Amino acid sequence: MRLKGQVALVTGGGTGIGRGISLAFAREGGLVAVNYSKSHDKAEDTVRQIRAAGGQAIALQADVSKEAEARRLVADVVREWGRFDILVNNAGWTRRVPHSDLEGLTDEIWQRTFTVNVLGAWYCCRHAIPQMQRQGRGCIINVTSVAAFHGKGSSMAYAASKAALTSLTRSLARAFGPTIRVNALAPGMVETGFVEWPPGEYDAARREVATPDIPTVEDLGEAALYLAADARATTGTTLFVDGGVVPLGPRGTRPSVQPKQ
């Protein structure tokens, strides 16, 4: 088992991408702390699924955008299992605001978006890293977004927050390597239930990918598992799980070369 006995905290771990990561880690022997802020029932359901499959997991409530709660969350994980090996900063928040709506993107939306998406990750890192240093190793995975690279997304605030988290990933990797590896996982269009897509947008996104299907939460779980278990020489980088849209460009816009007649 690739994560046998390793302790992992997945923030926002009971739903969507977080659930996919929690299940993947547990399947490979990880001891998984499934964090939630408000989605108690979904977190408990994720824990039940893990235990039913023979894995170990607990559900822990905390709003990671509040430092005191993030500190308590990390301490609870260490208290439960005596160590802390993997942190997945997956908790996120957004509100859909058209990018052309200058008045609709209020200060409150900006503040809430950055507080959860950036400071929440930072608070968890701040309190997990000392424990990892004492152990002599650790792994951090920040779930960002392709919005950080192409400037789209549910709002400009969301895209900017994920760009900030991507930059933080590189800074943390530089500051705390070689003891701790820090990487980012950047999903594109994923069927998670996190965002209700407008009519026609899903089909449009489906036409852009260069893979047979739009990535699933299971695909994201496998990608996170790779970063946590196998990518020992990888740090400070971003792994795209977006069907090739960012690396290659949308399928409809990639240049094609026609043979000479």
Residues identified as active-site: 158
Cα(151)–Cα(141) distance, rounded to whole angstroms? 22
> At a CB cut-off of 8 Å and minimum separation 6, what does 242 contact?
146, 186, 187, 188, 189, 209, 215
| Residue 152 φ then ψ, to 5° | -90, -145
> At a CB cut-off of 8 Å and minimum separation 6, what does 127 contact?
70, 71, 74, 75
> At a CB cut-off of 8 Å and minimum separation 6, what does 95 contact?
109, 112, 113, 154, 155
- What sign has the CA pseudo-torsion 61, 157, 18, 5? negative
Q: Reduced to 3 states, what is the DSSP secondary structure of residue 183? A: strand
Q: Reduced to 3 states, what is the DSSP secondary structure of residue 249? A: coil
As to burial, measured by CB atoms within 10 angstroms (0-12 exposed, 13-18 middle, 19+ buried), residue 225 is: buried
| Of 250, 148, 254, nearest in space to 204 by CA | 250
Cα(249)–Cα(209) distance, rounded to whole angstroms? 9
